[in-house]
Structure 1
């Protein structure tokens, strides 16, 4: 796979990045670019906004993970501060994640809280090593259907884990951690449903959903939790609270201490530590990619892994659980107007202040309200539209998606990712084998499609792209998940002053859903910046894949040749041609 850029500056050539380009924290980059008072004010507001969202979520995730709510706050304060301080993304917010709920819960059940803390520290060391070994560069090889499948599977697991608190069911014994036994135990406990808990949960979900529609800028999660706590206290509703189950939360951070360690214990939690590290790497880099798509920036993947590793070690020292980048809170940070990593650091500082000032009030928070918060989180994180798109995309993508999804739910998250990746690799090999063959070619004699005498299309005239208003790229070879990140990085660097961008697919025999999704993001960005994007030379199969993933007019238009696309850009034609209508 290669990509060349034909304009006055010549070809893009790969070079080995320097150490600073790989590991310099974005905090330093932002400071060097010039950081003023206005930027600080924006980061203060964004940090406060994210802290308000993170406060109930951190406690809810910790409870669902089988540990006390204070450990979720320790994770958000310590881990969140370090992620922003050392991270390779300007806007990344770190803390406890819903994706870890099942892993942490199972580890706590097998090895106790000490085992969770030890596994978290070991995972941090693994992440530091992975970053220094530049493994972050290769996370891009995880196919898009795998990420969508395990995210949807995690959402289902989170929802199932909250059914007990959501309905106030009383179980005779300990709630099983496995999916099917959990549902069986909950079904047996249906006669013990607490109507008050159900009412509180439904009311909390309704408040969050209503505020997202009518007042999206308001902190709906915090408002719902506070309202539920006030109602339960005023009317003395018989629902379980943080105080009744855990006795409240402390008003300060504990002193740092190494977790209990022994060789036997380390061997016992090693598989869990590897799972923690794998999921943290995937989740954090996926969050960084989402942030890049929202802002047009580029994160440093290996720097981010090192920061995540240090954050996990720091969290473990203070008794916290796993830390990773959080897509929802990172997006909230960006929408709140953050200018740099200081917003994430301030979010951690605000959380610490909330602990110091309002810790006694947390005792009144009903667990049903926190369960409702996680149900909303599960609904939001399940990429429903992407899931449906992949099911329609092709049978191969559907198989990878469903295998990852079902294994994540019924077996194990790590197993789901590994099997999904293996199936994706086999599927890619199969598709490449299908593309190998021989066919009879007829000469191309149209005026704008010259022929070299052998029935083959000759290279386009480089003079077409010398105009500084037009940028022309030609992608060569199979455009699949392994190359999508590199090519996406080049295409993301669209100059804002360009009038048009042409991406030639004439030499692309195949592209998969990951690559199509990357080009979809490029199309959205170009359309937002007023750049006219043209796709040329795409085969019917490639065009169908692109259309399925949103590369449609007016975001992108299709032409047979580069010459025609460049002519249309220079003419500034606003009305799509006939072949545009055919692709709509």
Structure 2
């Protein structure tokens, strides 16, 4: 079944030329992924080899079973503060369990076709926490950049800032020099050698200089974490207990949600670059499988990597096979060159991660949303600040709740409930709210235009406006619901309350009701209670029926002339009376 899932339709028309393109893309992306995998692992508080294991295993599985032809999976910068917090709080073994549980959650999300739900997360929330994560990552690399090796890492941003300030006098000039060389090469390589992976060149040059001129003056991967083994770890199933599941379900859920968002955003970027279409549910299944298998070999959580996916496309990839090749390339490098990686200075890794943070910061979009000075700006700032100064879980929860509350407020402001009458000066006597005045308003028939969704945020205002007409006891209440696209049970309850009060002394009519609100009324029984005979497709028919139900004795002497029949009913002369069309709606 999995074999059919991986290969169905994805390699149709594959040729030798296609393989050549995938081979080139896979090799290039694999070379780029090696320093990033180690750097992200170190920044997450684990050994660098775990990032390499993740790049190999997750990279291959995501390409085989995911929903995007061009997706490159592996450890990413977005996970850094999350994983570091889990390692600091629960330990590395529990990180593996949390990653495994996250894989199950992602897999189930794909199976139950929840991939499309990710698009309902408001853009200001994603920009807010992405920018916040970028700040945390960037600041987290300052100690390695400056060579502050006595610093203690904390989960909270402010504690880490305090540590940096306290130890700022301990700058290692050799680390600063190494990091600066790496940063300069990183910035200049794309300008002069755009097809060469800048991170690898920067790593090689800065490592080479440090190794030749001051090998003992800077902290390296080997001196800090030990030598990187030149083999994959053996298979080991984590010790999962009910107690650990309860303890880790929240971190696992956060990993799953962030992984889903990041991978689907990456897939969307790939679609835009290739004019293709990914399968979001299949992508989540692939992400789930990868995150279930990777921890069994000591790997950390993985997701789609936007920058590596973009590079994969730019270098000519035509199928998921390029992602598989990228994983194989990293495996070969691990087997052949692992001992040399141990000599890489931590100061050389810092600029690479800092540049990733800078690129993922969404600073232009952040400023664009901020300068609109709207409710979205508030959601953006709150999510950003909570991500930096609290944690991602709190930030996303509060950001989503705030976005929903503000959206509800905006939608409640949209609802319009206004009195209306036929305007004899327009074709077909269209209903008009502007002509209703104290001297031109039928005392026995109240007609209301209702516009906007009738839901929990707007239902109370709707009821209060209608209840004003009930105070003077008109005979007929006609509600024009043709512009109410949606009604929830709260809106239905408010409408039922109006009907209950009004039916004691009058008749409530409804015209132009849409299918969705009508379906709600039928399901709750209110449609039957109001009576099918009191629902009309056209307002003109409803008005004709309403006039037949009023007390015509009260019309004698009335000078409101709200309807064309008023002249005859009142017995008072009026200069101009036009014929009303029954097509009023």
Normalising to structure 1: TM-score of the pair?
Answer: 0.71
Aligned to 1:241: 220
Question: Which residue in the other structure is 1:178 paired with?
Answer: 156
- Structure with higher RCO (Cα < 8 A, 6+ apart): 1
1:96 aligned residue: 75
CA distance in 2, matches of 1:254, 1:330: 27
1:137 alignment partner, one of 116, 124, 132: 116
Question: What does residue 496 of structure 1 align with?
Answer: none
Structural mapping, 1:392-471, within 5 Å:
392-437=371-416, 454=430
Find the residue that maps to 1:339 and give its secondary structure: coil
For 2:565, the equivalent position in structure 1 comes to none
Which range moved further: 210-219 or 259-268?
259-268
Question: Which residue in 1 is equivalent to 2:179?
Answer: 201
Give the equivalent residue in structure 1 for 2:9: 29
2:195 equivalent to 1:221: no
Secondary structure (helix, strand or coil) at the match of 2:278 reads: coil
Return 207-216 or 312-321, whichever deviates more.
207-216
- Mapped to 1, the partners of 2:323 and 2:165 lie a distance apart of 42
Q: Determine which of 256, 260, 263 is the counterpart of 1:277.
A: 256
Q: CA deviation at 1:297?
A: 1.2
Report if aligned partners of 1:24, 1:88 keep a CA contact under 8 Å in 2.
Answer: no
- Provide the rounded CA distance (Å) in 2 between the counterparts of 1:196 and 1:303: 48
Which of 317, 341, 349 is 1:370 aligned to? 349
How far did 1:276 drift? Answer: 1.0
Change (3 A) 1:211 1:440: farther
Distance (whole Å) between structure 2 residues aligned to residue 420 and residue 452 of structure 1: 49
Is contact 1:132–1:302 with CA below 8 Å preserved after alignment? yes
In structure 2, how many angstroms separate the alpha carbons of the residues matched to 1:440 and 1:202? 71
In structure 2, what is the equivalent of residue 108 of structure 1? 87
Q: Find the residue that maps to 2:154 and give its secondary structure.
A: coil
TM-score under structure 2 length normalisation: 0.70
Alignment of 1:325-340 (within 5 A): 325-340=304-319
d(CA) in 1 for partners of 2:178, 2:81: 25
In 1, Cα distance between the equivalents of 2:328 and 2:213?
A: 34
Q: Relative to structure 1, is the Cα distance of residues 421 and 48 closer, same or farther in structure 2, using a 3 angstrom cutoff?
A: same
2: distance between equivalents of 1:256 and 1:234? 38
For 1:296-326, what per-residue CA distance to the aligned partner results, in whole angstroms no more than 9, with x for missing partners?
1111111111111110111101011001111
What are the within-5 Å matches in structure 2 for residues 470-485 of structure 1?
none
Q: Using the alignment, how far apart are the partners of 2:331 and 2:271 within structure 1?
A: 28
C-alpha distance in 1 between matches for 2:4 and 2:252: 27
> If you compute each CA radius of gyration, which structure gives the higher value, 1 or 2?
2
Q: Distance in 2 between matches of 1:27 and 1:45?
A: 21
Counterpart-to-counterpart distance in 2, 1:381 and 1:52: 20
Whether contact under 8 Å (1:24, 1:303) holds in the other structure is: no
- 1:365 to 1:37, Cα distance in 2 relative to 1, 3 A: same
**Contact 1:26/1:341, CA 8 A, preserved across alignment:** no
Specify the alignment match of 2:299 in structure 1: 320
Q: Shift of the alpha carbon at 1:416? A: 1.1
Partners of 1:320 and 1:280 lie apart in 2 by 15
Shift of 1:29: 2.2
Q: 2:507 aligns to what?
A: none
User: What is residue 22 of structure 2 aligned with on the other side?
Assistant: 43
Work out the CA distance in 1 between the residues paired with 2:166 and 2:354: 21
Deviations 1:86-128 (A, max 9, x none): 0001111110111111111111112211111111111111111
Change (3 A) 1:437 1:114: same
Correspondent of 1:126 among 88, 95, 105? 105
Q: Deviations over 1:165-211 (max 9, x none)?
A: 11101326x32121001110111011111011111112211111111
Q: Cα distance, 1:266 vs. partner?
A: 2.6
Tell me the secondary structure at the aligned position of residue 416 of structure 2.
coil
* Secondary structure in 1 matching 2:82: helix
Sort the Cα spacing of 1:120 and 1:77 in 2 relative to 1 into closer, same or farther, 3 A. Answer: same
Query: Matched residues in 1 for 2:149 and 2:75: separation?
Result: 27
2:147 to 158, 168, 174: 168
Q: Which of 59, 65, 69 does residue 48 from structure 2 map onto?
A: 69
The 10-residue stretch of structure 1 (379-388 or 430-439) with the greater mean CA deviation from structure 2: 430-439
Q: 1:286 aligns with which of 238, 243, 265?
A: 265
The CA deviation at 1:452 is: 8.1
Distance in structure 2 (CA, Å) of the matches to 1:394 and 1:190: 37
Q: Write the distance in 1 (CA, Å) between the matches of 2:112 and 2:176.
A: 49
CA gap 1:30/1:455 in 2 versus in 1, 3 angstroms? farther
After superposition, the C-alpha distances for 1:429-463 in whole angstroms (9 at most, x for unaligned) are: 2222222336899xxxxxxxxx987499xxxxxxx
Taking only aligned residues, the RMSD between alpha carbons, in angstroms, comes to: 2.7
* Partner SS, residue 29 of structure 1: coil
Distance (Å, rounded) in 2 between the aligned partners of 1:227 and 1:455? 77
Could you list the structure 1 runs, at least 4 aligned residues long, displaced by more than 4 angstroms after superposition.
23-27, 438-441
- Aligned twin of 2:472: none
Indicate if the aligned counterparts of 1:93 and 1:333 stay in contact, CA closer than 8 A.
Answer: yes
Aligned-partner SS, 1:364: coil
CA distance in 2, matches of 1:170, 1:255: 32
- Gap regions ≥5 residues in structure 2: 421-426, 433-451, 454-482, 486-585
Match of 1:310 among 289, 298, 323: 289
Contact 1:170 1:189 survives alignment (8 Å): no
Q: Structure 1 residue 268: deviation in Å?
A: 2.1
Counterpart of 1:381? 360
Partner residue, 1:190: 168
